Chain A
Amino acid sequence: MVKEEVCMTGILSYGSYIPKFRIRVEEIARVWGEDAEKIKSGLGVYEKSVPGIDEDAATIAVEAAREAISRSKIDPSEIGAVFVGSESHPYAVKPTATIVGEAIGAGNEYFSADLEFACKAGSAGMQICYAMVKSGMIKYGLAIGADTSQARPGDALEYAAAAGGAAFIIGNNPIAEIEATYSYTSDTPDFWRRDLQPYPSHGGRFTGLPAYFRHVISAAKGLMERHDFKPEDFDYAVFHMPNAKFPVRAAKMLGFSSEQINPGLVVKAIGNTYSGSSLLGLCATLDIAEPDDRILLVSFGSGAGSDAFAIRVTDKIESYPREPAVWDKIERKVYVDYAIYLKHRRKIKA
C-alpha cells in the first residue's frame, strides 16, 4: 500500500491566471453590425477575457506558475522541466519557457522547450512532464498552457478568442493522480496561422465534425476502451472549449451529463483561452473535487489532435489550498469597450 502511494504520479499543484478585463459579445457585435443575441445563442459565449496592455502569454504563464508553486510550497529549484504551450508565444524565436524558468527561480538545471499544437500544447506539456517524472528523469515538472489568442477583427473567432492560462506541477504523491493518458492525432488542417501572418485562418464549418468532434470523441473513447472506464466512472468531465456548444455536444455524444461538465465550463464567461482552455476547466473542476472523484480531461488542438486523461483526486486535496477559485477569478472583472480592447491587443498604437 505504501509502495503504491510512492509510485502515484499526477498533479501536485495547479495555478491559474485570467486577465481582469472583459469585453461583451454585444460590444463586438455593435462594431460589426451583427446580431448579438444570435451570436450568444449560437456560441453560448457571453463575454471574453482581454489581456492588459502589459500582459502577454509569458506574463500569464508566470502568474499561473507562481500560484502553482506557492500553493505546493515546493522549492522551485527542484523543478526539472518547464514546458510552455501556446499559440501566442511573444517571440517567434526565443522561448517563453526560459522567461518562466527565470521568473519562478527554477535555476539553470531544467529541461525546457516551448510547445505549439494550437489549443492542446499545454496538455501535451503535461504528458511530457508525466512521462519524465514516471521515468525518474525529474522530480517535478512544470507544464503550462497560456495564450492571448489572436482573431482577425470582424472574424467569427473574435467573439471567443480570449486570454488566460493554467499551470500544473507534475510529480509523485499528487493531489490528483493521472491514472491514464491517451492521444488521438491526425493531419487535419481545420485552423492554422502561416509564418509572419498576424491572424489565424480556419475552415469554418470544417472545424466541427472532421476536426473537433472526431478527435475529442476518439481520444475519450480510446482512453475509456483501453483502460476499461465508462462515462459513469467519472464524476466530472472537461472538454476543450472553443465555444460552449461544442463541449456540451461532445459530452452528450459520449454519454456524459451536464452535471458532469458544468463546473469546468468556463468558456461562457471568459471565452476560449486556447492552450489555457481545457486546463482552466480542469482547474475549476479541481477547485470543487473531493477525494476519489475521477475527472476526464480531453483537450483539442487544431491540426489536429486530442489528449485524454483519466485523473483521480487523492486525499491530499483536503489539505491543499485552493483559494482563490477559478470561478472567483472569473467574477473579478472590468469591462472594456471595443476601442480599449483594440489598444490592449496592440492593434492600435499612439
Chain B
Amino acid sequence: MVPRFWRKIKYRYDLKGSYCENCGNYHYPPRNFCPVCRRRGRVKEVELPDEGRVLSYTIIREGEPCIVALIELDNGIRIISQLSCDPSEVEIGIRVRKAFRRYGEDGEEGIINYGTKFVPAN
C-alpha cells in the first residue's frame, strides 16, 4: 500500500495532468503514454486549473456519504474527483475549486492518505 500511494502523491496532492503536444489532449490522472497518438505522442506534465463546474455527480451512501463528481475545469478538461461538502449542497452546474484534504487512512497504525478533492467555490 505504501509504495502505491507514494507513487501517486505527485498528482494526488495537486492537479498535475499530462498534455500531448501532438494531439492536444489532456489526461488526468497523467499518462506516460498518449492513448490517442500512441508512439507519435509527445506527453508533458501540466498543471490544471484550480476551478471548474460540476457536470454530473453521484452519491455513494455506504457509511459516510461520498460524493463523486464529473467536473469540467476552466480550460474545458473533464476530470473525476471527490466533492467534500454536504450532499444537500451539490447541484449540477455549481462552481467548485480544488482543496487539499484527507482521503483516508490505512487503519490506526498505517499511513494517512492525502489528496485533492473539490469544494463549492463560495
Contacts and interface: CB of A to CB of B under 8 A. Distances in A.
Contact of A103 (B63, B100, B122): B100
B75 to A, nearest CB: 17
Nearest to A343: B64
Contacts of A66: 100
Nearest to A70: B50
Interface residues of A, number: 20
A105 B10 CA distance: 9
Interface string A45-57: 0000000111110
Interface string B54-82: 00000000011000000000000000000
B1 to A, nearest CB: 15
B84 interface: yes
A103 B112 contact: no
A59 B114 contact: yes
A102 B9 contact: yes
A103 B14 contact: yes
Contacts of A62: 100
Q: Which of A54, A94, A350 has the most CB of B within 10 A?
A: A54
Nearest to A103: B13
A32 interface: no
Given A59-B114, A103-B114, A52 B84 contact: yes
Interface string B91-118: 0000000011111000000011010010
A54 B14 contact: no
B63 A350 contact: yes
Contacts of B10: 102
A105 B100 CA distance: 13
Interface in A28-77: 52-56, 58-59, 62-63, 66
Contact of A55 (B9, B13, B14, B102): B102
Contact of A59 (B9, B14, B102, B111): B102
A99 interface: yes
B120 to A, nearest CB: 10
A94 B103 CA distance: 17
A95 interface: no
Interface in A97-113: 99, 102-103, 105
Q: Which of B9, B14, B102, B103 has the most CB of A within 10 A?
A: B102
B13 A102 contact: yes
Contacts of B99: 59, 63
Interface string B30-60: 0000000000000000000000000000000
Contacts of B112: 56, 58, 90-91
B30 to A, nearest CB: 15
Nearest to B105: A90
A102 B113 CA distance: 13
A292 B51 CA distance: 36
Contacts of A90: 112
B9 A53 contact: no
B102 A54 contact: yes
A350 B63 CA distance: 7
Q: Which of B84, B99, B117 has the most CB of A within 10 A?
A: B99
15 contacts: A52-B84, A52-B101, A54-B101, A55-B102, A56-B102, A56-B112, A59-B100, A59-B114, A62-B100, A63-B99, A102-B13, A103-B100, A332-B122, A334-B86, A350-B64
Interface pairs A-B: 3 shortest CB-CB: A62-B100, A54-B101, A54-B102
Interface of B: 9-10, 13-14, 63-64, 84, 86, 99-103, 111-112, 114, 117, 122
Given A59-B101, A62-B100, 6 more contacts: A54-B103, A56-B102, A59-B114, A90-B112, A94-B111, A103-B100
